[in-house]
Amino acid sequence: MTLISTSLGSVGIFVSREVTGPGGNHMFGIEYLNLRRSDWPENWPETCKGKKQSPINIDDSEVKINKNLRDIKFVNYDKVLNNPVLVNNGHSVKLDIEDDSNVPKIQDGGLKAEYKFQQLHFHWGSENTTGSEHTLNNKIYPMEMHLVHYNSKYEKDEAHNYEDGLAVLAVFIKIDANDNNAFSAFSQNLKFVYGNDSYDISSSDLTLQALLPKDSLYYRYQGSLTTPPCNETVIWTVFANPVTIGIEQIKEFRNESLDDLVNNFRPIQNLNDRTVEKSYNSGIQQLPQVVIVLASFVVVGSW
């Protein structure tokens, strides 16, 4: 069910609607927002006390290289998002879209199903030394972005109940002196969602591709939602290399009007008996397909 009301704004359209879907506050209401994170296991003992909780620290010296973890196939990631809406849900700032024939999807890369994009959201700190949920070799980034996808064989509101229900891409974000144009769609419009509001940013012509790191190297492990009910139904893909956000852009996220959202990261959880895998990168540049075809023709013709 979707409830929509609009009023024109200078850049986009204010939108109020009932938002559902995994990620952010994970569609289970906001009852946990008034609880300390240390109280989550007590209130959700069957899930938040699990052995496959997220986030984790990734120790690159301990990971296992998996030659079956090749490049992820990004479908429609280069397409402008359909009716993207910026939402302050009381825990994070997230971006919802409406489903259409061009909904972004991910395939391959060790995934055994097709996963449809549902939403993305951010975790960030009040200082440069805190912010990310995952850490890499104990390094903390000032920000982390999660792109949440659900298995297309399930209904989006039910996918979190299945072991292979969700696939989340985690992107570390570091600070740079220069703005990142891809994040302008967020930083320039945060002022419109200070009060748990929603704001249509369709005019930004945003694509998901612009938000991803250029290097496709990634880590993979089985984990959980990082907020209650902490379901252990997430296939995590954590990119090894960060993207950047400008100094002035991250200041917008740290604006005092968003104080209730800042430092919205969960502490590192125990890895327990899980194995973190790393994607395979042979270091060999793949030849363009046309060159391969021509080379094959020459070889065949010489027989």
What tens-digit pLDDT sequence spans the chain (303 residues)? 222 222 222 233 333 333 334 444 443 344 544 445 555 555 555 568 899 999 999 999 999 999 999 999 999 999 999 999 999 999 999 999 988 889 999 999 999 999 999 999 999 999 999 999 999 999 999 999 999 999 999 999 999 999 999 999 999 999 999 999 999 999 999 999 998 889 999 999 999 999 999 999 999 999 999 988 899 999 999 999 999 999 999 999 999 999 999 999 999 999 999 999 999 974 433 334 443 343 443 343 433
- pLDDT at 195 (0 to 100): 85
Q: In angstroms, what CA-CA distances link 296 with 69, 78, 287, 292, 299? A: 27, 31, 12, 6, 5
Q: In angstroms, what CA-CA distances link 210 with 78, 205, 276? A: 8, 11, 27
* Residue of 91, 123, 146, 160 with catalytic role: 91
CA-based torsion, 118, 122, 123, 128: positive or negative: positive
- C-alpha 77/C-alpha 299 separation (Å) is 37
247's enclosing H/E stretch is: helix 247-253
DSSP 8-state symbol, 37:
G
Domain ranges of the chain: 6-301
Q: In angstroms, what CA-CA distances link 175 with 32, 95, 124, 143, 206? A: 30, 21, 12, 9, 21
* pTM: predicted TM-score of the whole model, two decimal places: 0.83
How many beta carbons lie within 10 A of that of residue 38, not counting itself?
8
User: What are the residues facing 14 on neighbouring strands?
Assistant: 7, 199
Q: Are strands 166-176 and 243-246 parallel, antiparallel or unpaired?
A: parallel
Query: Fold for domain 6-301?
Result: Carbonic Anhydrase II (3.10.200)
- pLDDT at 48 (0 to 100): 87
Residue 91: active-site member: yes
